[in-house]
Amino acid sequence: MDLTLTAEEQAFRDEVRAWLAENHPGEPPAGGEDAQFEFARQWQRTLHEAGWAGISWPREYGGRGATLIEQAIFQEEMARAKAPRPANVLGLVMGGPVVIAHGTEEQKERFLEPILSAEEIWCQGFSEPGSGSDLASLKTRAVKEDGGWRITGQKVWTTYAHHAKWCMLLARSDPDAPKHKGLTYFILDMEQDEVEVRPLRQITGEAEFNELFIDGAWVPDENVIGGEGNGWAVAITTLMNERAGLGATAALGLQATLDDLIELAKRRGRAGDPLVRDRIARLKIAVEGLRLGALRSLTATMRVGIPGPEGSIAKLQWSAANQAMTELALELGGLEALRTDDSWSYRFLRSRANSIEGGTSDVLRNIVAERVLGLPKLR
């Protein structure tokens, strides 16, 4: 056990830190969502030119091939520098890794570089109106034709669909097969008339996510990932990537929120209130519990290939802590914090999704119960 950085890790950290000091893009522009997205896209281009965009990707595919620890260091430095997120998050953490794991050489050639450069934005079309937690029940149909597939159906909650060139689309290619077996994973071109994107307004007032109406859209054979009928296995890779990245990075975000909360408590004259002190201490413990669990998980993964049980609770820890922090902020901040132009009101509202997006907390508890504790399934 040694939590200090090795000389090499320190050198890596110094390199990241120096680069960020030189290249930080500054504050995002005021103005609409489009302007902010363009800003994030430009920032990703800068990252990519210096080889940071695909930090976890293998070198042969344009990445940096960094170890898990280097990735954690990188994220920590990004957080410390308050650097913005790159634009193509879904492509970087899900789309790219899935193509790398399950794609053909041609697919890697075609799709990977534009993900890194943010030339082509990706979105994830899994959820449907009738299929959320029970994803494998999805109904969007894929019908085989000469040279490709015709897709018809509806997707929902599709984040960034309005910016996206490609959609990771899960559809039913064999209605007669058992529900997990009849699915295929497609890369759908969003730039066709048969795909209609309608923004969905969220409780925050913005529209990060959308509905997709797909009416006979075309996917050529070469855009099937992992082969016909293997959609579920490929989708699981996507979801694992979505959840794996969370722990260490999420803790850094939470620590920043906690710092703001401590400032708020002081500003509102509540720093001496024993109840406030106790609640903030609990939150500090929760943040550190997540951060340290993520580091344990990282070491276990590097050693034996899989994270230990501590990794399975990371998303539960994160969503609970983020929600509790923003709740306390509203209590401390009074009406000021509830103003529509105050960042706490936004953070409070946005964090309501944390226990839903990327797998609900109830479903995550099912997973812990079944996979970690080995309890019987309810069925």
Partner 1 sequence: MEFGFSDEQREIKATAREFLASRFPAEKVRELAESGNPYDDALWGEMCELGWPGIAIPERYGGQGLGVVELVILLEEMGYALAPSPFISNAYAGALIASAGSDEQRERWLPGIAAGTARGAAEFTNEGGPVVGAAKGSTVLALLTDGGPRIVPTADAELERIPVIDDTRAYFRVRAESGDPLPGDVAWARAAGAVALAAESVGLAARALDIATEYAKEREQFGRPIGAYQAVSHRLANMLWAVEEARSLTYYAAWCADADPEALPLAASMAKARASDAACSVTHDAIQTLGGIGFTWEHDIHFFLKRARVSAQLMGTAAEHRERVASLVGL
Of 56, 127, 140, 345, which one interacts with ligand FAD (CB under 6 A)? 127
- Name the 3-class secondary structure at 211: strand
Which of ligand FAD, partner 1, none interacts with 174 (beta carbon under 5 to 8 A by kind)? none
Active site residues: 242
Which of partner 1, ligand FAD, none interacts with 356 (beta carbon under 5 to 8 A by kind)? ligand FAD
Of 159, 230, 299, 301, which one interacts with ligand FAD (CB under 6 A)? 159
Nearer Cβ to ligand FAD, position 256 or 356?
A: 356
- Name the 3-class secondary structure at 368: helix
Site stretch for ligand FAD (CB under 6 A), options 39-47, 145-153, 335-343, 357-365 = 357-365
Nearer Cβ to ligand FAD, position 51 or 132?
A: 132
Give the helix/strand (H/E) hosting 183.
strand 183-189
Closest CA to 181 of 137, 214, 224: 137
Burial class (CB in 10 A: 0-12, 13-18, 19+), 297: buried
Residues 6+ apart with CB under 8 A from 3: 295
Nearer Cβ to partner 1, position 240 or 300?
A: 300
Q: Interface with ligand FAD includes 353 (CB under 6 A)?
A: yes
Nearer Cβ to partner 1, position 143 or 281?
A: 281
The Cα 20–Cα 214 span in angstroms is 41
Residue with the two structure tokens 């290249």: 23
Beta strands 210-220; 141-145: pairing state? unpaired
Which of partner 1, ligand FAD, none interacts with 293 (beta carbon under 5 to 8 A by kind)? partner 1
DSSP 136: G
Q: How far is the CB of 273 from partner 1 (least distance, A)?
A: 9
The Cα 82–Cα 20 span in angstroms is 10
DSSP 340: T
Q: For residue 326, give both structure tokens.
A: 């923003």
Of 10, 362, 371, 375, which one interacts with ligand FAD (CB under 6 A)? 362
The Cα 289–Cα 127 span in angstroms is 31
Q: Interface with ligand FAD includes 133 (CB under 6 A)?
A: yes
Nearer Cβ to ligand FAD, position 61 or 209?
A: 209
Q: How far is the CB of 308 from partner 1 (least distance, A)?
A: 8
Which of partner 1, ligand FAD, none interacts with 353 (beta carbon under 5 to 8 A by kind)? ligand FAD
DSSP 84-119: PPPS-HHIIIIIHHHHHHH--HHHHHHHHHHHHTTS
Of 107, 124, 319, 323, which one interacts with ligand FAD (CB under 6 A)? 124
Residue with the two structure tokens 């920043």: 256
Q: Interface with ligand FAD includes 363 (CB under 6 A)?
A: yes
Q: How far is the CB of 337 from partner 1 (least distance, A)?
A: 18
Beta strands 183-189; 166-172: pairing state? antiparallel
Residues 6+ apart with CB under 8 A from 242: 93, 94, 358
Which of ligand FAD, partner 1, none interacts with 197 (beta carbon under 5 to 8 A by kind)? none
Of 79, 262, 356, 368, which one interacts with ligand FAD (CB under 6 A)? 356
Q: How far is the CB of 82 from ligand FAD (least distance, A)?
A: 23
* C-beta of residue 370 within 8 angstroms of C-beta of residue 310: no
* Site of interaction with partner 1 (CB under 8 A): 1-6, 9, 69, 258, 262, 265-266, 271-272, 274, 276-278, 280-282, 284-286, 288-290, 292-293, 295-296, 298-300, 303, 309-310, 312-313, 316-317, 362, 365-366, 368-370, 372-379
Q: How far is the CB of 313 from partner 1 (least distance, A)?
A: 5
CA end-to-end distance (rounded Å), the chain: 42
Residues that bind ligand FAD (CB under 6 A): 123-127, 132-133, 157-159, 209, 353, 356-357, 359-360, 362-363, 366
